[in-house]
Structure 1
Amino acid sequence: IPYNPRGQGIIEWAHQTLQRMLKRQKGGIGGQLPPQSKLHLALFTLKFLTPGTDGKTPAERHWQVLEEKRKVYLKVLRKSPEEGQWKGPVDLLTWGRGYACVFTGD
């Protein structure tokens, strides 16, 4: 981090953390991988599998938020292909480019 006196300390701390993770994984599956894959595995472990202050991993927090979001659905109208009439409102489960998934209750 340029022009920041603490910048070098932050970089050194991150480097030491990564080195410790690489040493921990040396004996397991990490010993049989090429260096680039070892680095990827260590970074994945640090970023997604290391518990935070709340005791949950980032992956657990991510899925918990998704579960909480699933409890509240947007209401939308849908057009019945058989009758050509608009029906609803129904729950919108998910959507993307060119599609929508709704829960009709049928």
Structure 2
Amino acid sequence: MSLEDQLKNLFPEHVPEETTPEKPESDIWMQDDPIICKYEKRKGKPITILEGYNGSDTDLKTLAKELKTKLSVGGTVKQNKIIIQGDSRDKIMQLLKNKGFQVKRVGG
């Protein structure tokens, strides 16, 4: 006996609501200018810097969190720049293009 059948036996008058899973739409503000993707080394360690996003701070932090989660790396947001640990320019550029952003690669 499945869980649904057990619940129907326990609560015969209850009518379950029909819910349709909503696809989460991107709440991040899209811009016309390209986001600049740079590569640097700080203290001998590679980092990827994204700058040029002119949306709100919360959108910038949301975008950074999403990138860090998808890439499984660390990073931070400082001075309107997203700093991602490691050289992940190709993956970051592909993720941003899939979201609808224009991305420009600078250096190397």
Q: Could you state the TM-score of these two structures normalised by the residue count of structure 1?
A: 0.24
Write 1 or 2 for the structure with the bigger share of strand: 2
Query: Which structure has more RCO (C-alpha within 8 Å, separation ≥ 6)?
Result: 2
Write 1 or 2 for the structure with the bigger share of helix: 1
